[in-house]
Amino acid sequence: MRLGFYFILLLSFLGCRKSSDSTAPELAFYHWKNEVNLSSAETDYLKNSGAEKLYLRFFDVDWDPERREPIPISIINISASDNLPATVIPAIFITNRTFLKIKSNDIVNFTNNLLLKIKKIQNGLPNIQIPEIQIDCDWSEKSRENYFHFLEILKNKLQKENRELSVTIRLHQLKYPDKTGVPPADRGVLMCYNVGDLQNWDTENSILDEQITSTYLKNNMTYPLSLDLALPVFRWGVLFRDGKMIKLLNQLDTSELSDPFFFTKKSEHRYTLKQSTYLRGHYLYPGDQIRLESVTSATLKTVSRQLKYALPADRRQLIFYHLDSLTVVNFPVSEIKEIQRIFGEAP
Amino acid sequence: MSPIIKIISVLLISIIVSIPNQISKGCGPVDYSFKGYHFFDTDLVRTGSPFTDFFLRFDDFYHSYELADSVRNTSNLQEWNTIFCDQFYEKEIKEIVYGPVENIQAIKRAAEKKKNKLGLRLNRNSFARHLVDYQCMETIQYLLFAKSCEPHVSRNRNAWDAPKRDPVAMKALIYEGERVFLKLKSNNLKLRYAYQLIRLAHYATDYTMALDLYDRLLPRIDPVESIVHDWILAHKAGVLSRSGQNVEAAYLFSLVFDRSPSKREAAFQSFSIQNEKEWKACMLLCQSNHERATLHAMRASEHHSKPVGDMRAIYALDPENENLELLLAKEIKKLEKDFLGIEFNRYQKDNAKYHKIPRKEATANLIDLTQFVIQAGKEKKVRRPELWRLAEGYLLYLSNDLYDADKVFKEVEKTLTNEKLQEQLAVFRLVLKVTNYQEIDETKEQEIAQIIKKNDLYEKYPEFEKFINDKLAYEYLRAGHAGKAFRMHYSLEAIKPNPQANIINDLIEIALNPDKSKFDKILTTNKDGTEMVDDLLDIKGVMLWNRGEAAAALEAFKQIPVAQRGENRFNPFIERAKICIHCEQPDSLMIYNRPGILERIFELEFQANSDYANSASYFYQLGLAYFNLSYYGPSWNAMDYFRSGNNWRYAKSDIFEHWYFPFGNKENHDLSKAKAYFEKVLEVSKDRERSARATFWLARCDWLTYVTSSGYRAPRNSNYLPVLPPEYRVYYQQLEADYAETDFYKWVIRECKYFQAYAR
């Protein structure tokens, strides 16, 4: 009898664990480089984190003022596909001006071109599943009609191929769906990064700031689309000249600014140039300012908790932006897993 | 009319008709571009330098394939013509070189005597005839070979298609081309074959082969002057860059930048130095000070550069380098944006907000450049020291050192022989003169009129118009003449939607002054030559009326001669069952002008407070009048000049930003007076039908007040009724609860489908 009691207790305990884990999101990563050739460290990182999907930036689309049509730019070059996970999601970034300029009559043709281009690139990825396509566009009120029309056409075409369409959603679009509209897609990915004012030197951290995200996220928010979440695991240096932001230096690290002959450290993450020098192929002048921005594990956890309460969901994906050699070093798998667990914890 | 007045009239009319480009969020053509002045004429440095286009249009740099192709094709055709002793029209060569392959095939057949006749069209082409007559088989073969290479090296017409490059076919062409190359006699054609082969190897991504071809083929070509050398060099640089030899690649790109107009922009885009070590290594590869100076010029041309350090380096290496003047011009253009007229530029705040101009370190940049320019002007090692002295004066002016600027201009005047430089000096002096104007009086206004009338530079440099207008507006405002300042930029129409008391009162005071200056007369005269005073008084009356100062408003209206008061007619005292803004009303009913309405209102107020038996009727008419005079009524245009149908919404102080009106468009959403009178009806009326009507008007007023309140959010693209908070539904409920037995209530039930929704 007593044994039976303990057995039931154990079962109920396991049952609780099980139900708690069921809300833990699946992990995935973005890959945002032109050249696809994952190193063994990156492949191991993917495997160890349990990520079975990789969102690959296939190409960007911008408006070509000479041709007066949208054109693909920065097209991906897949040098090696052996190390890629079994599922890949093509991500296409489209500039807002594309939808500001395109004529509504040309949207069908544009959609066909875009799908054809994806298929051509997809041909270089044998034995890899592509169940979804993701479109990333920070649309505005004026471009919304064209953008949504494009999404409708694309979604219909993808449905016929049993594929889903996902779109990126910015925090302000989550907060004000009445004003910004809700894109006609199967799913959305809430981009929880680039939240601050990048152009302002006084901004503490434009990548992720829990104070800013808290102003957008309230408990139990609803959004007409199922939302996956994207969190940042990147760093950069923001270069200011004459008080104006002029360049982003990706994955810039403190060690590159450590030479006191050239750089003066003004505060924890802020530097000023003392002497002209080159940095990452850019010629810097005395007086130039650099703000180093990165995301700490603590901030990621705080924002994850905000998100967990703001957008409760049974199943969702947690996508980290983005996978590269520095992410592997700066964010060990254990930290990624900890963040994943936050979403699985009982409230 | 005196000539001066005529000139000022022209000036003012041009001001009046010009549309102000005020940055605004209101609907309309919003212009976010930088707005300032520029007087430094970049033509001064356009002395035939092949770099001019590159440097001077760099601000709006956009890599244009079409432009690069066009420059390349033109220079290529020129070279083809040179090879053939300039015998042909370039369009004839173009038809063959850039025409369809069938043309060349026909020429080949004719030249081989397989078919003698060229065909009518080609026979008219003397270049084609020449190739046939002289059996230029090497050239014909080359042209055919180039055509067979084209598909592998050209951009696709459809940007969505991947490049159609077949490495196997490309390699086959390389072998075939090299076989022909070895047999060729013409060094020009050898060079062109070498170019085709190296390009094919580059695009086939066989970089080792490309470098090998370069090393093997080039020594076999006797020296020949050709643009193709630089094209080959550009490909070699590209190959080296792809192979990781960044320093060598950067050096070659700098040579291409220096020598090849058609490849200049592409070379600049590809030029990349990663660190100090690479920069030093690249400098060591340079064969001359000119080449070293070119490296500095390229670095100085980077977007957002601070070029003075590199300009000093160029000066030390190669003081006569033509890029120095171009960099100087580019830098002065930037400093003009930072400093020129900064004190009185009315778009100063927008420039700071949207463009961060003046730049944070603009003063340091100005001092740095001025010091260098003084040195260069003094040492006289540069190509044109007088240009540098002129720049020195202008930079001192931009530093607000007007005295020294004037001194330099006087010194340099004696040394200038070049007409363009003399004109530039005259422009700078005129700018200085206008800047020096302060406390504008009648004499100065006459002087300015003379500038407009007699100075050719005013006509030639359109910048002077806005420069002078802005300066005068600034000085007038400083002197307390808000009205004159306003008129330097706007017509009276621009202030009507939201009249400003300081402007209107200033203009009225000027207009009524019998001893006003000629300039003031122009400022207060309409386009048709009539005086503006009546319009100003009318605007003042409307402004006061909107402020609730009805008696003062009536006084202002009454200053207008009776004959001039009656053009616009209204009747806000007519009741209409449904809200109607643009409804047709018979002319016979339009019996009131603006003062007439006010007089009738005063009369009704008097009657309401004295004739107690009928006061409900008078209060009802007053409520109606104030409703009809509001934004929501058909007589809105008695109390306003401009109404936008888009403004059924909230705006702070009811002022809606508008691209054309500098003070926005103030809408008369205020229904408080109408409400107060209808509430009085409820207090005093014994007639239940009238009370029911007044209650319904009150409900309407609450509904309209709510939908234009800050708390209301209209649902997008929806015809749903707004959900009224309980405090805005009181009168709907009261109508149903207290007046259900009235005829009016029955009418409401029948006509107003929405009533039930709010009455509950």
pLDDT in tens, B481-502: 999 999 999 999 999 999 999 9
How far apart (Å, rounded) are the C-alpha atoms in residues B358 and B399? 13
How far apart (Å, rounded) are the C-alpha atoms in residues B378 and B375? 5
User: Do B655 and B696 sit in the same domain of this protein?
Assistant: yes
pLDDT score at B24: 40
The verdict on A201 touching B (C-beta cutoff 8 Å) is no
Helix or strand holding residue B501 (H, E):
helix B501-512
pLDDT score at A17: 39
Helix or strand holding residue B79 (H, E):
helix B65-83
- Is there a contact between B745 and B734 (Cβ–Cβ < 8 Å)? no
The two beta strands, A263-267 and A317-321, are unpaired
Angle, in degrees to the nearest 10, between helices B362-379 and B385-398: 150
The verdict on A141 touching B (C-beta cutoff 8 Å) is no
pLDDT score at B584: 76
User: Do B484 and B399 sit in the same domain of this protein?
Assistant: no
User: Do A311 and A207 sit in the same domain of this protein?
Assistant: yes
At B103 the three-state DSSP class reads helix
Residue ending a domain, among A276, A293, A310, is: A293
Q: Do B364 and A64 touch (CB under 8 A)?
A: no
User: Do B734 and B611 sit in the same domain of this protein?
Assistant: yes
pLDDT score at B303: 86
User: Is 60 exceeded by the pLDDT of residue B603?
Assistant: yes
Mean per-residue pLDDT, A226-248: 95
Across the interface, which of B272, B302, B356 has its CB nearest the CB of A244?
B356
- Is there a contact between A205 and A166 (Cβ–Cβ < 8 Å)? no
At B136 the three-state DSSP class reads coil
User: Do A182 and A34 sit in the same domain of this protein?
Assistant: yes
Mean per-residue pLDDT, B30-41: 88
pLDDT digits (tens, 9 = 90+) for B196-225: 999 999 999 999 999 999 999 999 999 999
Helix or strand holding residue B755 (H, E):
helix B755-759
Cα nearest neighbour of B301 on chain A: A283
- Is there a contact between B532 and B511 (Cβ–Cβ < 8 Å)? yes
At A245 the three-state DSSP class reads strand
On whether residue A6 sits in a domain, the answer given is no
**Cβ-based neighbour number of residue B573 at 10 Å:** 18
User: Do A270 and A134 sit in the same domain of this protein?
Assistant: no
User: Do A301 and A287 sit in the same domain of this protein?
Assistant: no
pLDDT class of B18 with cuts at 50, 70, 90: very low
On whether residue A5 sits in a domain, the answer given is no
User: Do B484 and B424 sit in the same domain of this protein?
Assistant: no
pLDDT score at B188: 94
How far apart (Å, rounded) are the C-alpha atoms in residues A15 and B73? 76
How far apart (Å, rounded) are the C-alpha atoms in residues B257 and B93? 27
Domain that holds residue A245: 235-293
Residue ending a domain, among B516, B536, B558, is: B558
pLDDT digits (tens, 9 = 90+) for B628-653: 999 999 999 999 999 998 888 888 88
User: Is 60 exceeded by the pLDDT of residue B23?
Assistant: no
Q: Mean pLDDT over all residues of chain A? A: 91
User: Do B499 and B519 sit in the same domain of this protein?
Assistant: yes
A-proximal residues of B, 707-736, CB under 8 Å: 713, 715-716
Share of chain B above pLDDT 90, in %: 71
User: Is 70 exceeded by the pLDDT of residue A90?
Assistant: yes
Domain that holds residue B105: 84-150
**CB under 8 Å to B201, separation ≥6 — which residues?**
B170, B174, B207, B209, B210, B213, B239
pLDDT class of B606 with cuts at 50, 70, 90: very high
User: Do B441 and B427 sit in the same domain of this protein?
Assistant: no
The verdict on A113 touching B (C-beta cutoff 8 Å) is yes
pLDDT digits (tens, 9 = 90+) for B277-296: 999 999 999 999 999 999 99
Q: Which amino acid is at B287?
A: Q
pTM of the model: 0.81
Q: Which amino acid is at B292?
A: R
Across the interface, which of B65, B276, B362 has its CB nearest the CB of A242?
B362
- Is there a contact between B693 and B744 (Cβ–Cβ < 8 Å)? yes
How far apart (Å, rounded) are the C-alpha atoms in residues B645 and B424? 51
**Cβ-based neighbour number of residue B212 at 10 Å:** 13
How far apart (Å, rounded) are the C-alpha atoms in residues A238 and A236? 6
How far apart (Å, rounded) are the C-alpha atoms in residues B622 and B606? 11
User: Do B547 and B639 sit in the same domain of this protein?
Assistant: no
User: Is 90 exceeded by the pLDDT of residue B163?
Assistant: no
User: Do B331 and B456 sit in the same domain of this protein?
Assistant: no
- Is there a contact between A249 and A234 (Cβ–Cβ < 8 Å)? no
Residue ending a domain, among B374, B408, B436, is: B436
Cα nearest neighbour of A114 on chain B: B160
List residues bridging with A187 in a β-sheet.
Answer: A166, A226
pLDDT score at B720: 73
User: Is 80 exceeded by the pLDDT of residue A12?
Assistant: no
- Is there a contact between B300 and B268 (Cβ–Cβ < 8 Å)? no
How far apart (Å, rounded) are the C-alpha atoms in residues A223 and A298? 27
User: Do B697 and B584 sit in the same domain of this protein?
Assistant: yes
How far apart (Å, rounded) are the C-alpha atoms in residues A52 and A43? 11
User: Is 60 exceeded by the pLDDT of residue A13?
Assistant: no
CA-to-CA separations, B755 to A93, B693, B739, B744, in angstroms, rounded: 50, 14, 14, 13
Write out chain A residues lying below 8 Å of B309, CB-based. Answer: 276, 285
Choose among A33, A293, A311: nearest CA to A187: A311
**CB under 8 Å to B516, separation ≥6 — which residues?**
B510, B524
Q: Could you give the angle at the alpha carbon of B438 between the alpha carbons of B437 and B440, nearest 5°?
A: 90
On whether residue B254 sits in a domain, the answer given is no
pLDDT score at A23: 66
Quickly tell me which residue has 């530097």 as its tokens: A271
Quickly tell me which residue has 């270069």 as its tokens: A239
Q: Mean pLDDT over all residues of chain B? A: 89
Q: Do A283 and B302 touch (CB under 8 A)?
A: yes
Rg of chain B taking only CA atoms, in angstroms: 39
Choose among A133, A139, A137, A68: nearest CA to A103: A68
Q: Do B279 and A278 touch (CB under 8 A)?
A: yes
**For testing contact with chain A, the best of B25, B66, B67, B160 (most A CBs within 10 A):** B160
Mean per-residue pLDDT, B355-382: 95
Write out chain B residues lying below 8 Å of A75, CB-based. Answer: 162
On whether residue A15 sits in a domain, the answer given is no
How far apart (Å, rounded) are the C-alpha atoms in residues B670 and B556? 22
> In the structure encoding, which two tokens stand for residue A200, read together?
């302002």
User: What's phi and psi for A27, nearest 5 deg?
Assistant: -95, 145
Say what the ipTM of the complex is.
Answer: 0.84
User: Is 80 exceeded by the pLDDT of residue B323?
Assistant: yes
- Is there a contact between B301 and B58 (Cβ–Cβ < 8 Å)? yes
Helix or strand holding residue A277 (H, E):
strand A277-279
> In the structure encoding, which two tokens stand for residue B464, read together?
């002077």
Choose among A259, A270, A263: nearest CA to A284: A263
On whether residue B206 sits in a domain, the answer given is yes
Cα nearest neighbour of A279 on chain B: B275
User: Is 50 exceeded by the pLDDT of residue B12?
Assistant: no
User: What's phi and psi for A230, nearest 5 deg?
Assistant: -120, 125
How far apart (Å, rounded) are the C-alpha atoms in residues B639 and B546? 7
For B145-149, B177-181, B261-265, B608-612, which range has the lowest pLDDT when averaged over its residues? B261-265
User: Do A229 and A239 sit in the same domain of this protein?
Assistant: no
Across the interface, which of B62, B160, B360 has its CB nearest the CB of A243?
B360
pLDDT digits (tens, 9 = 90+) for B451-485: 998 899 999 999 999 999 999 999 999 999 999 99
- Is there a contact between B91 and B103 (Cβ–Cβ < 8 Å)? no
Rg of chain A taking only CA atoms, in angstroms: 22
**What is the least distance, in Å, from the CA of B729 to any CA of chain A?**
25
**For testing contact with chain B, the best of A245, A274, A285 (most B CBs within 10 A):** A285
User: Do B327 and B444 sit in the same domain of this protein?
Assistant: no
User: Do A198 and A283 sit in the same domain of this protein?
Assistant: no
How far apart (Å, rounded) are the C-alpha atoms in residues B572 and B24? 33
**CB under 8 Å to B673, separation ≥6 — which residues?**
B626
Q: Could you give the angle at the alpha carbon of B54 between the alpha carbons of B51 and B58, nearest 5°?
A: 145
Helix or strand holding residue B67 (H, E):
helix B65-83
How far apart (Å, rounded) are the C-alpha atoms in residues B593 and B600? 10
**What is the least distance, in Å, from the CA of A337 to any CA of chain B?**
37
CA-to-CA separations, B1 to B9, B11, B15, B522, in angstroms, rounded: 10, 15, 19, 11
Residue ending a domain, among B150, B178, B200, is: B150
User: What's phi and psi for B294, nearest 5 deg?
Assistant: -65, -40
pLDDT score at B577: 78
User: What's phi and psi for B610, nearest 5 deg?
Assistant: -120, -35
Cα nearest neighbour of B360 on chain A: A242
Structural domains of chain A, count = 2
pLDDT score at B716: 56
Structural domains of chain B, count = 5
- Is there a contact between B28 and B658 (Cβ–Cβ < 8 Å)? yes
Q: Do A278 and B275 touch (CB under 8 A)?
A: yes
- Is there a contact between B327 and B297 (Cβ–Cβ < 8 Å)? yes
- DSSP character at residue B174: H
How far apart (Å, rounded) are the C-alpha atoms in residues B402 and B405? 5
User: What's phi and psi for B177, nearest 5 deg?
Assistant: -65, -40
At B537 the three-state DSSP class reads helix
User: Do B543 and B599 sit in the same domain of this protein?
Assistant: no
At A9 the three-state DSSP class reads helix
For B107-116, B384-393, B521-530, which range has the lowest pLDDT when averaged over its residues? B107-116
Q: Could you give the angle at the alpha carbon of B383 between the alpha carbons of B380 and B389, nearest 5°?
A: 55
User: Do A154 and A267 sit in the same domain of this protein?
Assistant: no
User: Do A174 and A251 sit in the same domain of this protein?
Assistant: no
Q: Could you give the angle at the alpha carbon of B37 between the alpha carbons of B36 and B43, nearest 5°?
A: 135
User: Is 90 exceeded by the pLDDT of residue A273?
Assistant: yes
pLDDT score at B567: 72
Write out chain B residues lying below 8 Å of A35, CB-based. Answer: none
Mean per-residue pLDDT, B555-567: 89
Question: Nearest 10 degrees: CA dihedral of B742, B748, B751, B752?
Answer: -160
pLDDT score at B27: 52
> In the structure encoding, which two tokens stand for residue B454, read together?
């007699």
On whether residue B77 sits in a domain, the answer given is no
User: Do A242 and A125 sit in the same domain of this protein?
Assistant: no
pLDDT score at B760: 65
On whether residue A163 sits in a domain, the answer given is yes
pLDDT class of B319 with cuts at 50, 70, 90: very high
- DSSP character at residue B659: S
On whether residue A200 sits in a domain, the answer given is yes
How far apart (Å, rounded) are the C-alpha atoms in residues B547 and A342? 59
Across the interface, which of A244, A247, A281 has its CB nearest the CB of B359?
A244
List residues bridging with A194 in a β-sheet.
Answer: none
User: Do A248 and A124 sit in the same domain of this protein?
Assistant: no
User: Do B533 and B576 sit in the same domain of this protein?
Assistant: no
On whether residue B140 sits in a domain, the answer given is yes
pLDDT digits (tens, 9 = 90+) for A259-270: 999 999 999 999
> In the structure encoding, which two tokens stand for residue B19, read together?
């549309």
User: Do A262 and A306 sit in the same domain of this protein?
Assistant: no
On whether residue B284 sits in a domain, the answer given is no
How far apart (Å, rounded) are the C-alpha atoms in residues B51 and B341? 30
Mean per-residue pLDDT, A297-319: 92
On whether residue A150 sits in a domain, the answer given is yes
User: Do A62 and A93 sit in the same domain of this protein?
Assistant: yes
Q: Do B306 and A285 touch (CB under 8 A)?
A: yes
Helix or strand holding residue B385 (H, E):
helix B385-398
